[in-house]
Chain A
């Protein structure tokens, strides 16, 4: 499946982000939401904004805390496995270890663990597109 890069305004200029509509489902209660998530090959794990926890019926206080190291500081997040599939492709759904991260400044980041094992991902920023194909 091909997805168009998302333009983001920055000081009057445009920055481009590879994003895809992804369905996150809480396996404990079946609640799901579609998030236009950033595909980030530099991220080790899939990370979600903490406000999405309540949205998916996840109680952060009951979760194990996980140390997280980002480019410039260390912090902690909340460890939880979610089912994940690309919008429009229910045949390929995977249980992925995710982290709800209080410091996250975006909605969701698709990191390498499991997701990048399950999909062939081709970034073509010069065409404004990212191609995400389930592995055969």
Chain B
């Protein structure tokens, strides 16, 4: 894993900006599908033929989260 720079970190954050509160599928950290549920995203991913994807729920940008349970 290469060290990421602050500029690259900002770029990465910007790439997720259109997907606030959406589920996304990532391939090599790039969004290849999005939707309101993981099931919807999985269907899109299958249609596009991707097999090795990572699912992620993009958090709201207007809150700071403290997740400890």
Distance of A76 from chain B, by nearest CB (Å):
12
**Is B53 among interface residues, defined by CB-CB distance under 8 A?**
yes
* Size bracket, chain B contacts: 20 to 34
* Size bracket, chain A contacts: 35 or more
Please state if A49 and B1 are interface contacts (CB–CB under 8 Å).
no
Which of B38, B54, B61 gathers most chain A CB within 10 Å? B54
Please state if B38 and A106 are interface contacts (CB–CB under 8 Å).
no
**A38 touches which of B1, B3, B67 (Cβ 8 Å):** B67
Distance of B61 from chain A, by nearest CB (Å):
4
Residues of A within 8 A of B (CB): 2-11, 14-16, 19, 21, 33-36, 38, 40, 42-45, 47, 49, 51-52, 54-55, 68-71, 87, 101, 105-107, 109, 111, 127-129
The list of the 6 closest CB pairs from A to B, nearest first, reads: A42-B68, A7-B13, A107-B57, A36-B56, A9-B61, A2-B1
